[in-house]
Chain A
Amino acid sequence: MSVRYFRASVAMYQSICRQIDAAYEYPNAATKTERALPAADTLPTDSSGRVYLEVLSDYCQYNLPSELLRQFLASGAVEEISEAIYTASLPKPTP
């Protein structure tokens, strides 16, 4: 399984989360799944207020995420980044 990395503004990311959750009817008590993607406040952020997300490529290939991802990448609302850029966004460990 490979991993893909993205970043977006907090507002855009939250909008994406709402759209995907609505499409999948999350939260779903039967499947015990509350949301599709991690909450924005659990993700690394940069000084520009962008959140950074790592996602399995398999998940990106599901029908709905793949279609939405195609649209968001095309519009520039979501930017796909390299692992190096993602890693650089992570909080540095305290000495």
Chain B
Amino acid sequence: MGMSPKLLRPRASGSFTPKSISGLSAWWDASDTTTITLNSTTVAEWRDKSGNSRHMAQATAANQPSYVSSEFGTQAAVRVAALATNRINSSSNMSTLGNDTSQQITLFVVLKGLSATTNAKNIGEVDNPTGFGWYCRFTDGNSYFDAGSSATARVQSAFSQSAYTSGCVLTGMRSGGQVDQWLNGTLLSGSRSNATGSLQTDPGHNFSLRGGSAAVSFGEIIIYNRSLASSDRQSVERYLSKKYGIAVA
């Protein structure tokens, strides 16, 4: 008797998760309530799901961001207020967040700005303004992705205020001298091909989320310690698109 056809079928590969792609460095998912420690309605800790323990925390109640259970449709978010001290950050175990030798990193953020005001600094390093960071600033209608210590590693892209305030998927990537950012899967203007300087994601630098002069809600943040091929980048963007109901290219 021959082998049952069922045994010859390939095993189902399972649905896509950010862990499906190698190099996952950090993964914060507001919809996973097992990763959130609440102090009443505010967030005291947002744990990293990547396995690298890059947990973000805020131990002072008055400075804790709020937890919004339905910010992106039915998906939750951690919302930082328009207050410099309202932030959540990880100050330990940030080594190899990116690859500071080959200067590679890929960052995906699902966010929504509560209002498009001036100089809102949303994500990135707090204590080293010349290091890795990313913020949107609407005095001039641009999004800025700082992928390192040099001004040559900054991508400045014209940015849609309506996309920002309705919720969007932002992608930033550095691969050596090349720095790009995408909005909802579409490459934005301002790419760099001559970036110099280190990413500066090494220990001692504080990775944080804060709203600055505008409140911002974060649904999910995914970071890889390498640049991704287009197919992998699109896989992550489509995963986020499906989950948060945001159309991507």
- Chain A interface (Cβ < 8 Å from any Cβ of B): 1, 3, 24, 26-28, 31-38, 54-56, 58-59
Contacts and interface: CB of A to CB of B under 8 A. Distances in A.
A74 to B, nearest CB: 21
B215 A33 contact: no
B62 A36 contact: yes
Contacts, number: 53
B85 A35 contact: no
Contact of B62 (A1, A28, A32, A56): A56
A1 B37 contact: no
Interface string B45-78: 1000000000001011111101000000000000
B45 A32 contact: yes
Contacts of A28: 39
B83 A3 contact: yes
A55 B84 CA distance: 10
Contact of A1 (B38, B59, B85, B215): B215
A35 B61 contact: yes
B82 interface: yes
A56 B81 contact: yes
Contacts of A24: 61
Nearest to B81: A1
A1 B85 CA distance: 14
B44 A32 contact: yes
Interface residues of B, number: 21
A32 B60 contact: no
Given A1-B215, A28-B39, A33 B85 contact: no
Interface of B: 37-40, 44-45, 57, 59-64, 66, 81-86, 215
A81 to B, nearest CB: 16
Given A1-B215, A28-B39, A56-B86, A35 B81 contact: no
B86 A32 contact: no
A54 B82 CA distance: 11
A58 B41 CA distance: 11
B60 A36 contact: yes
Contact of B57 (A32, A37, A58): A32
B115 to A, nearest CB: 11
Contact of B60 (A3, A34, A58): A34
Given A56-B83, A56-B86, A31 B44 contact: yes
A33 B65 CA distance: 12
Contacts of A59: 61-62
A35 B59 contact: yes
Given A1-B215, A31-B39, A37 B62 contact: yes
A42 to B, nearest CB: 9
Nearest to B63: A38
B191 to A, nearest CB: 31
Nearest to B59: A34
B85 A54 contact: yes
Nearest to B82: A1
Given A1-B82, A56-B83, 19 more contacts: A1-B81, A3-B82, A31-B38, A31-B44, A32-B37, A32-B39, A32-B44, A32-B45, A33-B60, A33-B64, A35-B60, A37-B60, A38-B60, A54-B84, A56-B62, A56-B81, A56-B86, A59-B61, A59-B62
